Structure 1
């Protein structure tokens, strides 16, 4: 829920700033990139937070090697993608790469839902909700690509 709240709030605040005269934020696509950057900053940072890290490592499907390294790698990629969304010259590539990253990470979400893995003690998210969230985030990344 926190990623959706972060995405929505940051996008709307950026759009509001644009409507109030911030010329750099004069369109929805730019505001969406800011919202996605905020969301991926949050989700990328969570990969390294002690409260969440062990749960994220358990989310990795058992057949994949080095789950701790995969969690760290995906966290770094999310943070790099967030930064890339904010730089006009890299925004398109960042948005498309983040969409691809979300597709690549879906097996971990599927695995977590199927095995009932919690995140920081919160109830596990059902597979249908996880799938809908991933599809939404992928679609928004594609819309954010200028």
Structure 2
């Protein structure tokens, strides 16, 4: 998917958001490919970077500044192609659904050769950490998330092959 630009408060953000990471030797296993659980770490790191960039608060600071947490209630990955040391992976984050208190993400990792390495659907829920009950998405984030979703939809529709 070709990135478009999302304009929010004089800030240009790419949509969809892409986090780049280089595979390190320590990320791999005896088969000389990325160890399975490290794919989840890559996706978590990319999602934290999405929060920091798009919402201007990393995952941890949501608790400190807004009194909410965002635990995952779903996290799965489908593995499609291996990654090797020194390869750069591009991890794309697309918000596929926004509820009153929840966000669902499609997270896709693509190798430098354009081959998709992994893809997964992740869902998190904003909660009050004291009651452990769901909490509404902080109002300040809703327009940013909606604008991001709209920009990603626009990017996807402009990149579809024309009949």
TM over 0.5: no
Counting strand residues as a fraction of each chain, which structure ranks higher? 2
- Relative to the length of structure 1, the TM-score reads 0.32
Higher relative contact order (CA 8 A, sep 6+): 2
- Relative to the length of structure 2, the TM-score reads 0.30
Larger Rg: 2
